[in-house]
Amino acid sequence: MPYPNSPEKHDWKALITPQASLDYFHDEPEPAPESLVLCFYDGLLDHIGENHAVTTFETWDTGYALDATDGRVGIVRVPGVGAPVTALLMEELIARGAERFLALGHVGSLQPDVELGDLVVVDRALRDEGTSHHYLSAGAYVDATPALCDRLEATLDGADDDYHTGSTWTTDAVYRETIPEIERYREDGIITVDMEAAAVFAVAEHRGVGAGALFTISDHLDPSGWEPRFAETGEHLERAFTRAVAALTG
């Protein structure tokens, strides 16, 4: 059976639109910042709220527009993890005027030389989740927006940060990341494994907006075992956020 079940669906019009949903649930939804960081961690949002001048804007969860950017750049917390909820949130933010997205997260490393705290600019995502396939025709990978990748790299170069650029493996099933897959994707040169990037890039391509991803490493996946170090990622996420805002502002 093909996936999605109706491969021709990409030529069909959807019944329910993000705008219809906004019209039903909100009297007058306020415009979103034009550039948004997608965040998945309460700790990072708390840090930003306590250490930056921000203006709260309406979203499903916490949303801050950064006063230093005159409200043009903001950050939103995705209320959960994974591709479907991230795509839903993006769709409604795009309908409210958002034009660029950067997914910011801590992820697993597949490569032995990509270590805890390293930064990774993602230029494409292996589509091993479901959501991207409802937005784009069949294909192994979906690309980030090249201009955003270039801006991220220029920002990191300007800050004299060490970083890696390359692919991520996006999957829905954390507890089905198997040793043969890890061996294969490591050999293919894929750097990280995550749960959202393919959907972020696919929604953006479908809607004609920009999208990128900047990751930091929280754990290491090796055929010999798993090394989790999530508790040590806080300062690295904060640094990644600073770089993401600089890239979106430049």
Q: Is residue 1 part of a domain?
A: no
φ and ψ at 62, to 5 degrees? Answer: -70, 130
The per-residue pLDDT for 1 is 65
Q: Is residue 108 part of a domain?
A: yes
The per-residue pLDDT for 103 is 99
Contact 33, 71 (CB under 8 A): yes
Torsion, Cα of 217, 121, 91, 175 (10° steps): -30
Could you give the CA distance from residue 102 to residue 98 in angstroms, rounded to a whole number?
11
Per-residue pLDDT of the chain (250 residues; tens, 9 = 90+): 678 999 999 999 999 999 999 999 987 889 999 999 999 998 999 999 999 999 999 898 889 999 999 999 999 999 999 999 999 999 999 999 999 999 999 999 999 999 999 999 999 999 999 999 999 999 999 999 999 999 999 999 999 999 999 999 999 999 999 999 999 999 999 999 999 999 999 999 999 999 999 999 999 999 999 999 999 999 999 999 999 999 999 8
Cβ-based neighbour number of residue 22 at 10 Å: 16
Domain hosting 179: range is: 16-249
Give me the number of domains the chain comprises: 1
Q: Is residue 3 part of a domain?
A: no
Q: Is residue 236 part of a domain?
A: yes
The per-residue pLDDT for 133 is 98
This model's pTM is above 0.95: yes
The per-residue pLDDT for 98 is 98
Cβ-based neighbour number of residue 205 at 10 Å: 18
Q: Is residue 6 part of a domain?
A: no
Q: What is the CATH number of the domain that holds 105?
A: 3.40.50.1580
Q: Is residue 11 part of a domain?
A: no
Contact 249, 72 (CB under 8 A): yes
